[in-house]
Chain A
Amino acid sequence: MLLKLLTELNGTSGAEKEIRNALKKELEPFVQNMQIDKIGNLIAEKNPNHPGPKIMLAAHMDEVALMITSITSDGFLKFKPVGGIDSRILVSKVVKVNSLFGVIGAKAIHLQKPKEREQALKTDQLYIDIGAKNKEEAEKQVKLGDYAYFYTQTENLGQGYLKGKAFDDRVGCAILAEILKREYPLNLVGAFTVQEEVGLRGATVAAYHVQPDFAIVLEGTVSAHMLEVEEEEWVTVPGKGPAISIIDNSSLYLPQLLKQVMKIAEKQGIPYQLRKGHKGGNDAGKIHLSRAGVPTIAISVPCRYLHSTVSVLAEKDIEHTLQLVDAILKAIPQEFPLNK
C-alpha cells in the first residue's frame, strides 16, 4: 500500500528527498511533465496542452521531526523540533538518526522529586542517546544538522483504522498520487510541496510558477475526538468522511466554492464533514494569495494525535476523500464553474 511505504520513509522540512524520489519513481509512467523546482517541490503535470482551467492539487511531503543542534561531551545529541511538536510526547521514544537507532530517555522516576513529575519536560531538557561512548564516536555517526525521525510502523488498528507516523501529510500525498494515476480531461498539476511545516514555504513557490486557476489542498488534519474533549472542540471525527475546511489561521474559504463541493458530495452520496475549528493552517494559506489570487479549497482526512509519534485515522476516510476529489475533477467545468 502506497500509504505504508510513504509514511515509513523519513523526510522533514528541507530534507524531503526520500519521499520525493519514491513519488517520482511511482508516478513517472503516468505524467507528461515531471520536474523538481528551485525549492524542491515535485511538480507532476498531466495534459499540459489541454484547453480550459489549470487545476493544481497540492500535498506536502514533509513531516515534523527533530534536528540535531549539538553533541555533548558524553556523546548525547541535543535537538530542536522541526515544525510544531509538543515536547511531552517525545519522552521514552525510539528515533532513527541516519541509519542508527536512538532513544529519548527520561530521568528515572525514582530520581525525581514529586513536584518534578508534574512538570512537563521541555525540549531543551531532552536528548537522544545512540549508545555512543563520547563526542568523538558520536561525531563519526552524526553531524550537526542531521535529523532524528520518529520510528513507527504503519499497521492496522482495531476495526478499520490505521496507526502510523506522518499521516500529516503522507495521506495527502498518497491520495494525490492515486489521482495522478487516473485520467481526467483536464490540465492537472500535482504539486508535492516541501516545507509546509515550517511556514508553507514550498506552496508559496509552487503556486507562483504553476499559476493555477483553481487549487485543491489535500491534507491530514487534526481530530480531537477523544476522551473528555467536548464536542465543540473535536474539529473533525475519524470515520465521518473527508473534512472540508471552512476557516483556519491562514484562510477563509469562499462560501460559494464550499457550497458547490458539498452539492457534489451529496449528489454522489459521499459522506463528508466540515472541519470545525479555526486553528492550524495548510498550504492553502499561501496558494490562495498567490499573485492575483487563486480559488482554493482544502479537503482533509481526519487524524487523531497529529504531530506525535503515532497518529490514527479511519481507512474509509481515505477512500471517501479519493471519491470526493475524483467527483470534483469530473464535475469541472460543467457542474463546477470556476468563474469568480
Chain B
Amino acid sequence: MSNAQLTSAKEFLIRLSENSGVSGYEESLTPLVKNEFAPLADSIQQDSLGNIYALKKGTQGRYTIMLAAHMDEIGLMVKKIDEKGFIRFSTVGGVDQRTLLSQEVIIHGKEEVLGVIGSIPPHLLTGDEDKAVKIEDMGIDVGMPVEETKKLIQVGDIITLRRKPVEMLNNILAGKSFDDRAGVVVMKVCLEELQKLSHAHNVVAVSTIQEELGLRGAGVSAYTLNPDLAIAIDVTHASTLDTKGTVECELGKGPAIALGPNIHPVVYEELVKAAQENRIPYQVEPVPGRTGTDAWAIQVVQAGVPTGLLSIPLRYMHTSVETIDLRDVVLTGKLLAYFIAGLPEDLEGQVCY
C-alpha cells in the first residue's frame, strides 16, 4: 500500500471521528460522508431513517452486493438540568460508566457547549473507591449559572465525548468512534480500489444508522436493497494485556474474516481465497452465534441474504481511546475490492448452500 493511501485513510478517519453522529443523530455526519463517496459512486441516496447509499455500477449489473458499515457512535443524552446547573445524563448505546469520569464532553444544544464530567477529589473520598461511580451520580459542569444553561441546553440534547485522535507509534491511531467509522473508511478504500479493477456486479456501500442501538439501520437498508450478497464491515476486539486467553485477534495482523452460523460458508471461502491470492494478511475469527454486527440483521431480511463479515482489530472498544492500526484499515478495503472483483458472474449459482 502506498503512503498516500494510508494518509488519505487516516485523514478521512480523523474527520469522521472528530465529528458528532450519535445513534439517531447521524444527520451531522451526512454531508461529510456524502462528499467523500460522491466522486467514487454513480449515485448517492439517503432513506427516510438516514442510511446513506453509494452505488457503484458493475459491468453487468445483474446482481447487487451490499456493503454495510455503521456511522453512528455511542454517546450521552441530556436527561435533566439540576438546580445547580449540572447536567444529568443518560446513555445512548453501550457506554461503560467507568470511562466517563474526568472526561471533556460537548453538549449539542442551541450551540456546542463544552462541559466536564467531574469527579469528587481524592482528598474527600471516604473509602468507597472500590466501587465504580454510577452514571446517576455523575454530572456535567458547564461553568454557567442554571438560567444561562437552560437558554442553551434542553432535555434530549445529544452529548458527545471530546476527543481529538492521537497518533502513536507504527501507524497506530487512537480516538473515539473508530467503531465503526473505521468501517466507513474501509468502504471508501474499497470503492477507490474498484476504480482500478473490473467488477461485474453493482456495489452499494451503505453507511448505516443506529447499529449501536440494535442494528436498526442495517435491517431497514437491507430490506430496501434486497441484495444478493452482503458484507458487513465492523471492528472486533484486538488483544490487550487484560484479555490474554479470551481474545485472539491482534492489531496489525490484517482484517479478521468471521466464520460461523451468521456467515454464509461460500462467502467466507471466497473472502479467504481473495486474501490468499492477493497476499493480504488476514486472521480468522470464529463466532459461534450472534456476531453483534449489522451482519446479524442483514442475514434474515426478506427471504434471506448470503452474508459475510470483515472486521478491523481494535483495542479498548467503546472508550474514547479506541486504538487501531491504519494499515489494517487499508488492507481490509483492498481485500473487499479484490473479493468483489473476483466474484463469478453467476452469483446466484455460487452462493447456494
Contacts and interface: CB of A to CB of B under 8 A. Distances in A.
* Direct A–B touching, Cβ under 8 Å: yes
Contacts of B143: 157-161, 163, 312, 314
Interface string A78-105: 0000001111110111100000111111
Contact of A312 (B118, B125, B133): B118
B223 to A, nearest CB: 26
Nearest to B101: A89
A325 to B, nearest CB: 23
B116 A312 contact: yes
Contact of B319 (A92, A151, A314): A92
A189 B167 CA distance: 43
Interface string A117-152: 111110001010111110001000100000000011
Contacts of B94: 109-110
B170 A119 contact: no
Given A91-B101, A131-B169, A308-B101, A227 B139 contact: yes
Nearest to A234: B124
Interface string A59-84: 00000000000001010100000001
A305 B118 contact: yes
A95 to B, nearest CB: 10
Contacts of A163: 104, 114, 116, 143
A280 interface: yes
B102 A89 contact: yes
Interface in B72-125: 82, 84, 86, 94-104, 113-116, 118-125
A106 B242 CA distance: 9
A158 B142 contact: yes
A226 interface: yes
Given A119-B130, A227-B138, A308-B101, A92 B320 contact: yes
Given A88-B98, A157-B114, A227-B139, A120 B131 contact: yes
Contacts of A216: none
A304 interface: yes
A155 interface: yes
A334 B237 CA distance: 70
B292 interface: yes
A12 to B, nearest CB: 16
A109 B114 contact: no
B240 interface: yes
B317 A310 contact: no
B319 A106 contact: yes
Nearest to B172: A131
A217 interface: no
A103 B317 contact: no
Interface string B208-247: 0000000000000000000000000000010011110011
B132 A222 contact: no
A88 B168 CA distance: 24
Contacts of B121: 86, 222, 224, 305-308
Interface in B131-173: 131-133, 137-139, 141-145, 148, 163, 166-170, 172
A119 B131 contact: yes
A229 B125 CA distance: 12
Given A94-B321, A107-B242, A131-B323, A304 B316 contact: no
Given A76-B241, A109-B96, A279 B132 contact: no
Given A106-B99, A305-B121, A125 B242 contact: yes
B302 to A, nearest CB: 29
A104 B121 CA distance: 20
Interface string A301-333: 000111111101010000000000000000000
Contact of B114 (A85, A102, A155, A233): A155
21 contacts: A84-B122, A91-B319, A92-B316, A93-B103, A108-B318, A109-B95, A110-B94, A110-B317, A111-B246, A119-B130, A133-B169, A137-B169, A141-B169, A151-B166, A159-B144, A222-B123, A222-B124, A225-B84, A226-B141, A280-B123, A309-B102
Given A117-B96, A129-B240, A277-B124, 17 more contacts: A92-B100, A94-B166, A103-B166, A108-B319, A109-B317, A110-B318, A118-B132, A119-B132, A129-B316, A158-B144, A159-B143, A226-B139, A227-B118, A227-B138, A235-B124, A310-B103, A310-B116
The 4 closest A-B pairs by CB, nearest first: A158-B143, A105-B316, A161-B143, A131-B168
Interface of B: 82, 84, 86, 94-104, 113-116, 118-125, 129-133, 137-139, 141-145, 148, 163, 166-170, 172, 174, 237, 240-243, 246-247, 252, 292, 315-321, 323
